[in-house]
Structure 1
Amino acid sequence: MIAEWLDIGSVEQLPALGARTLPVRGAREIAIFRTANGDVYALINQCPHKQGPLSQGIVHDTTVTCPLHNWRISLIDGHALGEDEGCVPTIPVKIDGGRILIGRKEALQGMA
């Protein structure tokens, strides 16, 4: 049986208010984010507007601002905020023993 979760590393390797990318063979790249309070989220690394790399955006509270056109995207559900419309697929995340685990099925498909 294949594990339901992928261990992608230690929470400590992910800086607060920062992001890292996770390339996935045959699927879209995933961006892993850590908020100031230590929560971790994962989204497909493409803004719904012009596919800007969200991992290069500014993380604040539970949102990330796209570096291309300043769209704010919720890290919780992937929806664009304010007057903007669109949604980024999210990837389930959990922390276990200081390790970041993401949903295997969603990660390999590159969509939620």
Structure 2
Amino acid sequence: MTAESAVVLPVLVLVAMALLWGLCVMAVRIQCVDAARSGARAAARQDPAAAVAAVTRDLAPRGSTVTVSREGDQVRVTVVAGLPGPLRGLPFEVREEAVAASEETAPQEAAGAGTDSEVAP
């Protein structure tokens, strides 16, 4: 009984550590995906570059790098983050991208024209 538990206990600890590592990676990945999508939406709406970076960094994991680039009418936002906490020393990073088509913004005078309509109660 003692010999079996001496072999099985380290294996159980390793499996538990692997599961925790996987959960940490997935949590960071979800944060990166959300941050990249929000940044791409903001950039597609023609928001200023500082506002796009601020929105993306607010949602991205701490210590991540954010890259915003434009290629023609498409906007690409890339978020790269390392692992949190004690897993930070591992040579592993999470990289997520989001691409959105730039929206055409209408001039202010034309945007307000024809929008005066009343809704009956």
Q: TM over 0.5: same fold?
A: no
More strand by share: 1
Structure 2 length as normaliser, TM-score? 0.26
Q: Which has the larger radius of gyration?
A: 2
Structure 1 length as normaliser, TM-score? 0.27
Greater RCO (Cα-Cα under 8 Å, separation 6 or more): 1
More helix by share: 2
